[in-house]
């Protein structure tokens, strides 16, 4: 942390999520070097950085303090001269806790989101739609992921560009990986349980499917990797996109080293009878990236 010059909830949520993934994959020991800038330390402290790490099962080396004594710390003039902006930041964690019920988890998350949205005293943004988006994402994590997720919320209520933004980072299997695995399972069913054509098609997609194939499948109502009674399955991602459109969010998803702006995808064929989520549009709007493989939703509105 020593070289960090500025911190906000969006960047910190991504950092924590990637840290969770790295430690889960490598089992490394974690040691922090304290930030040299006092305001960075205070900001991390105000967002409960250490508390969130502990809730996710991450314990920094007990022999190192995350924050330091600020006396005699030399802060570069260029950094010290930066004005502090009037902004609100919040981190909410969704731990993979087997001993906590889904309903209790969602109730806690909803309470924390409500508390943060109260900072928007003028109700500049559509609070109900924001709640739908974030709770649907949390439900997806609790139902499908089995791994922790981290939510970063940021609200700038003053200035020329008033802005609300969020990031949702799920450290478990992404959409594409989950759909591929589901198709592998479905392709093993006998033709008496599923049509022979569907079984063959799932087998082909499981082997050769691309980002556009899996996102296209996930956006169709009725398609879901969750087993259940067949009622209201596969609506989560559509609800997220629709709620984002309704309140003017620009919503993107990053998965399997590809980023796609879901609201652009929905707007590009609005009013037409054919499905707005075609393979061609997904391929056209998808952007390849070599960033770390983490399922991440990012929403922003001004």
Least confident stretch, 30-34, 217-221, 296-300: 30-34
pLDDT of residue 233: 43
In which residue are the tokens 């139902």 written? 143
pLDDT band per the 50, 70, 90 thresholds, residue 191: low
Kindly state the percentage of the chain with pLDDT values over 90.
30
Burial 198-217 (b: 16+ CB within 10 A, else e): ebeebeebbeebbbbbbbbb
Q: Which residues pair with 247 in a beta bridge?
A: none
Q: What is the pLDDT of residues 231-246, one digit of tens each?
A: 444 467 888 888 898 8
pLDDT of residue 72: 44
Burial 14-51 (b: 16+ CB within 10 A, else e): bbbbbbbbebeeeeeeeebebbbbebbbebbeebebbe
Whole-prediction pTM: 0.85
In which residue are the tokens 């924050």 written? 67
Q: In sequence order, which residues have a C-beta less than 8 Å from that of residue 70 and are 6 or more positions away?
A: 38, 41
Q: Which of 4, 1, 99, 95 is nearest to 53 (CA)?
A: 95
Beta strands in the chain (DSSP E): 88-94, 149-156, 163-170, 250-255, 258-261, 287-288, 295-301
Question: For residue 8, with 0-12 CB atoms within 10 Å meaning exposed, 13-18 middle and 19 or more buried, which class applies?
Answer: middle
**Mean pLDDT along residues 198-218:** 87
Distance CA 290, CA 286 (A): 13
Q: Which of 155, 175, 156 is nearest to 254 (CA)?
A: 175
Per-residue pLDDT at 70 exceeds 80: no
8 Å CB contact between 116 and 88: yes
pLDDT band per the 50, 70, 90 thresholds, residue 78: very low
Q: What is the pLDDT of residues 112-164, one digit of tens each?
A: 999 999 999 888 889 999 999 999 999 989 888 889 999 999 998 876 567 89
8 Å CB contact between 148 and 18: no
Q: What is the pLDDT of residues 236-288, one digit of tens each?
A: 788 888 889 888 899 999 998 899 999 888 776 554 434 556 788 888 889 98
8 Å CB contact between 191 and 199: yes
């Amino acid at each position: 942390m020593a070289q960090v010059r500025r911190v906000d909830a969006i960047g910190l949520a991504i950092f924590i999520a990637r840290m969770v993934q790295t430690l889960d994959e490598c089992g490394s020991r974690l040691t922090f070097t304290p930030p040299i800038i006092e305001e960075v330390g205070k900001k991390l402290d105000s967002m409960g950085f250490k508390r969130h790490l502990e809730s996710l099962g991450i314990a920094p080396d007990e022999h190192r303090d995350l924050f330091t004594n600020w006396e005699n710390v030399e802060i570069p003039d260029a950094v010290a001269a930066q004005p502090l902006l009037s902004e609100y930041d919040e981190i909410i964690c969704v731990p993979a806790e087997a001993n906590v019920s889904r309903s209790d988890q969602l109730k806690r998350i909803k309470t924390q989101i409500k508390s943060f949205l109260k900072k928007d005293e003028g109700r500049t943004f559509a609070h109900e739609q924001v709640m739908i988006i974030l709770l649907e994402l949390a439900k997806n994590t609790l139902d499908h992921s089995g791994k922790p997720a981290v939510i970063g919320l940021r609200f700038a209520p003053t200035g020329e560009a008033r802005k609300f933004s969020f990031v949702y980072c799920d450290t478990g299997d992404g959409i594409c990986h989950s759909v591929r695995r589901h198709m592998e399972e479905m392709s093993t069913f006998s033709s008496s349980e599923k049509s022979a054509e569907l079984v063959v098609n799932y087998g082909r997609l499981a082997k050769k499917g691309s980002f556009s194939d899996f996102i296209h499948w996930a956006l169709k109502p009725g398609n879901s990797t969750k087993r259940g009674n067949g009622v209201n399955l596969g609506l989560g991602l559509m609800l997220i996109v629709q709620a984002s459109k309704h309140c003017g969010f620009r919503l993107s998803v990053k998965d399997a080293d590809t980023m796609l702006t879901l609201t652009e995808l929905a707007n590009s064929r609005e009013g037409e009878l054919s499905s707005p989520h075609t393979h061609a549009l997904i391929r056209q709007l998808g952007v390849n990236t070599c960033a770390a493989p983490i399922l991440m939703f990012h929403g922003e509105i001004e």
